[in-house]
Structure 1
Amino acid sequence: MTVVDTTTARVVPWSGSTTDVDQPKPPLRVGVAVALGILLVTGPYMGVNAVLLPARVAEIDPEGKATALAVISTVSMVVATLANIVVGALSDGTRSRWGRRSPWMIVGSIGTAVMLAVIPFVGSLPMLMVVWAVMQLFLNSAIAPIIAVIADRVAPRHRGTISSIYSLGFSGGIYGGQILGAQFLGDVTTGFFALAGLLAIAGPLCVVLMREQSSLDMPPRAFTWSAVRENFTLPTTGSRDYYLALFGKLTIVAAKFAISGYMLYILTDYMLLAEDQTAQVLSLVSLLLMLTAFGMGAIAGPVSDKLKRRRLPVITAAVLIAVGAMFPFFAAEPWALLVYGAIAGIGMGAFNSVDQALNIEVLPNPDTAAKDLGILNLANTGGQVLGPILAAAAIGFVGYHGIFPLAAALAILGAIPIFMIRTVR
């Protein structure tokens, strides 16, 4: 049986990838679908992770809040690691009339929403860790398939452009979520419910817009131990550049989240702002990060496609993040965080726009794209966890001002493996 590839209006047999010949024009509908999907997943998550979760932890344990947040982040990293590998592999092999990715998007987003709605009723740190870990399982069940859609349905020559569209949704979620979360600092419970509602519609909306083709015609694979190893383990063949991209992404993302993960405490405990000032500055910084990321994100991807270069924009982004991170180190004032937001936002816009295209082009095996991209996405989720863990250590040793040189060093460290990649220009 054949199916219609709706991105090209041609009748073609089932395929797990798309070539330049098959796709003369950018598949804009697919780009819009993944952008909206990632916006409605990362936005509510970031509103909770960067604002509401720290506020809830502070309510439960005001004295040990920094350490408690680091422990919760560590548990999250372990769960996210396993979820990305297992769910990515299961997604690669899913045969359904709705495609390989769609069922996982729906289950993941709705499951995440349910867990967020439970958090306001949790009254102890151990139980909060359990609920947050289950939430991470569902969250990554939604994110890994969304990212894999770009590898499945976008030809190589359009990946920079579609990654730019994706990055607009990602940036809107990352920064817009923090702005939205800040509005609920006075009513944390309502904030959890509101953001859970947005997350519940993420998967279904993405699936409806994307219209993934059926995967029932996907050729079956024999059940062998070799196939199991290939689908559920880390890639080993032709994967040098893949791991360089992984570690570069991990440290660059960790650099950003070392600051954003403790933004609330930086404002209250380092800059000593009152609650109303904190909410105002947090919203302004997030808005700056979002606007600069939007502007650069819309430009960097198409330019990268035209120049056929992926590494240079990512390396430049890392340097900008490092420069921006040092301003609050020298001045414990709100204006320094605003400067950080402007400079680092430009860097993160370029990074988010081009990095996803770079990731796809270093994949060792397109048949296991979701699993391998899921592992690469660990650099996102892992960086979101690693950054606050390292920041907590810096706070413990030297105080809050230690976060900023730490973030700068992580960003520069991340540029090194990206520079060492050989197979991508």
Structure 2
Amino acid sequence: MSAQRSTTDPQPTTWTGATTDADQPRFPVRLAVGLAVGAFCWIVAYLGAVGVLLPARVAEIAPDDKAAIIALNSTVSMIVATLANITIGASSDLTRSRFGRRTPWIWVGAIGSLGSLFVLGRVTTAGTLIAAWAVYQVFLNAIIAPLLGTLSDRVAPRYRGTAASAYALGIGVGTGLGQVIGAQFLGSTATGFLVLGVLTFVAGPAAALFFREASSIPMPAKPFTKDLVLDNFVFARRDARDYYLALFGKFFIMLAKFSIQGYMLYILTDYMLLEKADAARYISLTATIIMVAGITMAFVAGPLADRLGRIKLPVVISSLLIGAGVLVPFFSPSPSTIVAYAVLAGIGFGAFNAVDQALNISVLPNPATAAKDLGILNLSNTGGQIAGPLLAAAVITASGGYRLLFVLAAGSALVGAALFTAVRRVR
């Protein structure tokens, strides 16, 4: 048994850092609960901050320059998050400690996130706000990368779909509650940031309680060489065909998602010609439908994928559902089509989120660098969030309308489905 899995012998002589089906005869319920709690802790605070409290704090500090400050802050945070994903993921992969590889980093991220969010509620200039948010991005990724690494290290292949669904369940619940919690503190952003920081901090004790990670000291120490840097701190170079297909497949799915979600208000007001009050009602309705679908599919898609012994097939089907959903408003500017979009795409998003991480783990070039490589794969989320609204703006400006946007979003989802279909390593 590897050191990563042992609970009876903290100092085994052989290290693999992976878990096989033979090592794990039963589903790891405790690990799955830890993954769900950890995912909830980081996403609920992040969305409550970035979606509500951060813009509110910017408006308090510099109301005349808030658009420019938000844009600059987004650019800086994207760069910092990219570097942090790779660096912290790689450092987690290489960590040798009596507390394991992942748990110490999650504690660092939990404590640092609490501190940086506390500071964010008290900054008084745009410069210090941007700096504090950048520091928060570093600590946030000190939670995310090791969580994904734990999913890779500690869950056997036959249970990865269900375990990934547990992570997706935490994401789904946190996504639904994040902005709701943040909105309760618009009158006191400092208190709101502190509350979100406390919620994030819970990830540390949760990791210690649920993961009970064994010592990683038996992992062989690696000398600091050129090969170590290339293997652990840069993009994968060998046996990575399926890995990059998964990375770009996910990017195109996120592009389809955020090109619509990022322009939802304008689609409702400019394309469907709704008044702002009605638009707000439909935004709340579609968000609720997508959240409920996501939570429901977290209970269905992963376990079903494990039972069928297929991960790629549910990913491809969910990609096609997303493509169908984003295309529906093309046929009519009636608000009913945006509800149909929410149902179809919501089921697709929920199923995709539930099994995507399981596919990502299955195509890793090297399990020894799992946290780093999964962190890089996670950048497809960031890329899609940025590129989606940019694509929407360019298409709407060039075509003078919204209909082409729905076609291109559907085409993007189909490209993603095709890339996933080309993956060879996974059924």
What is the TM-score normalised by the length of structure 2? 0.86
For residues 344 and 8 of structure 1, the distance between their equivalents in structure 2, rounded to whole angstroms, comes to 45
Partner of 2:21 in structure 1?
20
Which residue of 2 is the match for residue 161 of structure 1?
162
Partner of 2:214: 213
- After superposition, residues 270-419 of structure 1 pair within 5 angstroms as 272-274=275-277, 278=280, 282-326=283-327, 337-391=338-392, 393=394, 401=402, 407-419=409-421
Aligned pair 1:422/2:424, yes or no? yes
Counterpart Cα distance in 2 of 1:335 and 1:268: 14
Cα 1:403–1:204, aligned 2, differ >3 Å: closer, same or farther? farther
The 1:70–1:339 alpha-carbon spacing in structure 2 relative to 1, beyond 3 Å, is: farther
Q: Report the Cα distance in structure 2 between the residues aligned to 1:184 and 1:411, rounded to whole angstroms.
A: 37
Match of 1:113 in 2: 114
Question: How far apart, in 2, do the equivalents of 1:249 and 1:132 lie?
Answer: 26
Whole-Å separation in 1 of the counterparts to 2:319 and 2:68:
28
Q: In structure 2, what is the Cα distance between the partners aligned to 1:249 and 1:143?
A: 17
- 1:250 aligned residue: 251
Q: Is 1:92 aligned to 2:118, yes or no?
A: no
Asked if structure 1 preserves the Cα contact closer than 8 Å seen for 2:2 and 2:17, the reply is: no
In 1, Cα distance between the equivalents of 2:268 and 2:60?
17
Q: Secondary structure at the match of 2:373?
A: helix
More deviation in 124-133 or 289-298?
124-133
CA separation of 1:6 and 1:399: change in aligned 2, threshold 3 A: farther
- Alpha-carbon distance between aligned partners in 2 of 1:248 and 1:414, rounded to the nearest angstrom: 4
1:196 aligned partner, one-letter code: G
Separation in 2, partners of 1:222, 1:395: 53
Cα drift, residue 256 of structure 1: 2.6
With the length of structure 1 as denominator, give the TM-score of the two structures: 0.86
Q: How many residues are treated as equivalent by the alignment? A: 423
- After superposition, give the CA deviation of every residue in 1:103-162 in whole Å (9 maximum; x if it has no partner): 111111232233333334445555443332222111111100001101111111111121
Does structure 2 retain, via aligned residues, the 8 Å contact 1:73–1:385? no
Tell me if the contact between 2:165 and 2:299 (Cα under 8 Å) persists in the aligned partners: yes
- Aligned residues of 1:42 and 1:173 also touching (Cα < 8 A): yes
| Cα distance in structure 1, aligned partners of 2:315 and 2:327 | 19
Partner letter of residue 422 of structure 1?
R
Matches of 1:182 and 1:341, distance apart in 2? 23
Q: Supply the AA of the counterpart residue of 1:23.
A: Q
Residue 416 (structure 1) shift: 2.6
Give the direction of change, closer, same or farther, for the CA distance of 1:281–1:174 in structure 2 (3 Å limit): same
Correspondence list, 1:35-50, <5 A: 35-50=36-51
Post-superposition CA distance 1:260-295 (Å, at most 9, x none): 456677778985525x984x6554433322211111
How far did 1:414 drift?
A: 2.1
Name the structure 1 match of 2:81: 80
Q: For the structure 1 residues 365 and 110, does the alpha-carbon distance in structure 2 shift closer, same or farther, using more than 3 Å as the test?
A: same
1:29 CA drift (Å): 0.8
Residue 147 of structure 1: aligned partner: 148
Counterpart residue identity of residue 290, structure 1: M
| Runs of 5+ consecutive residues of structure 2 not aligned to the other structure | none
For 1:149, give the aligned amino acid.
T
Work out the CA distance in 1 between the residues paired with 2:35 and 2:289. Answer: 23
2:276 is paired with a residue whose SS is coil
Q: CA deviation at 1:346?
A: 0.7
Are the aligned partners of 1:4 and 1:11 in contact in 2 as well (CA < 8 Å)? no
Residue by residue, what CA displacement relative to the aligned partner does 1:288-342 show, whole Å, maximum 9, x if unpaired?
A: 2221111122111122122222222212222222333345667778765544332
Give the alignment's Cα RMSD to 1 decimal: 3.4
Q: Whole-Å Cα distance in 2 between the matches of residues 175 and 159 of structure 1?
A: 24
Q: Where does the alignment leave 5 or more consecutive residues of structure 1 unmatched?
A: none
Mapped contact 1:317–1:348 kept (Cα < 8 A): yes
- Name the SS for the 1:223 alignment partner: coil
Q: For 1:101-140, what aligned pairs fall within 5 Å after superposition?
A: 101-122=102-123, 125-140=126-141
Following superposition of structure 1 onto structure 2, how do residues 193-232 of structure 1 map, counting pairs within 5 Å?
Answer: 193-232=194-233
1:386-415 CA deviation, whole Å, 9 max, x = no partner?
A: 434445555766789586555444333322
Which amino acid counterpart does residue 287 of structure 1 have in structure 2?
Answer: T
Q: Which residue of 1 aligns with 2:171?
A: 170
Range with greater deviation from structure 2 (98-107 or 294-303): 294-303
